[in-house]
Amino acid sequence: MNTSTSSPADAGTHSGSRRGRQLSGLDKLLSRADNALRTLTPGTTKAERQPENEAPASTLADTDRHHIAGLMRINHTGEVCAQALYQGQASTASLPHVRRAMEEAAREEEDHLAWCEDRLSELGSVPSKLNPIFYAMSFAVGALAGLAGDRWSLGFVAETERQVVRHLDAHLQQLPADDARSRAILEQMRLDELKHALSAEDAGGAALPPALQSAMKMMSKVMTWSTYRI
């Protein structure tokens, strides 16, 4: 599984501005819980942007609609995982500027989440029922990455986003030529995800060991296979 302005650092992706006071541990815990509930509850996330090449929905054959819905469900779950990863990393990042970068990226990913959810609705489909499981797993992985140190945490972001870019490339190749709406969404997501990867690398992200990269790819395959169907 892109950067807008919303809540400040430590306030969480969906919470209101709390500049001017130090957040307590309870504040942060409630903010993370609020983010999880909003991410997992359909209709609560609204996009602040729209894809640059936004196109009207077109009439699709039933077989195409079913396949596209499966692809968009995968991408929606990917954005659920992105929210959880960034929130987990932000909760354990040691440097304030790294924590802010994680939360800023998570805010931009909210647009992706809303775009995928809206497109699923247009296609007469719904998000994956497995999203709560993948959210919990991704939050834990993100928190562990943050505990490993900011260089590794940033490296994890860079590798994750590069894998998402490759995954989006594959989906773009599978879209019917006349589905300009889904294509506009995925192309904008691809631009944003690549930007996140480059930003994490520029901020000092360390290259992950090949074994860890392979494990991430395997987990991605499990998520892709299951959420296309459930």
For each successive 10 residues of the chain (230 residues), what is the average pLDDT?
A: 41 44 70 82 85 79 94 95 84 71 74 94 95 93 86 88 94 94 94 89 86 89 94
Instruction: Domain 60-229: give its CATH architecture.
Output: Up-down Bundle (1.20)
pTM, entire model = 0.82
What number of other Cβ atoms are within 10 A of residue 225's Cβ? Answer: 11
What number of other Cβ atoms are within 10 A of residue 210's Cβ? Answer: 8
pLDDT at 10: 42
pLDDT at 121: 95
Angstrom distance (rounded) from CA 91 to CA 76: 23
pLDDT at 189: 94
pLDDT at 9: 40
| Ramachandran region, residue 204 (left: φ > 0; alpha: ψ -120 to 50; beta: rest) | left
Asked if residues 109 and 79 have their Cβ atoms less than 8 Å apart, the reply is yes
| Ramachandran region, residue 15 (left: φ > 0; alpha: ψ -120 to 50; beta: rest) | beta
Q: How many residues does the chain have?
A: 230
Instruction: Find tokens 């991704």 and name the residue.
Output: 138
Residue-wise DSSP of 100-126: HHHHHHHHHHHHHHHHHHHHHHHTT--
3-state helix, strand, coil in the chain (%, to 5): 70, 0, 30
pLDDT at 169: 97
pLDDT at 83: 85
Query: In the chain, where are the structural domains located?
Result: 60-229
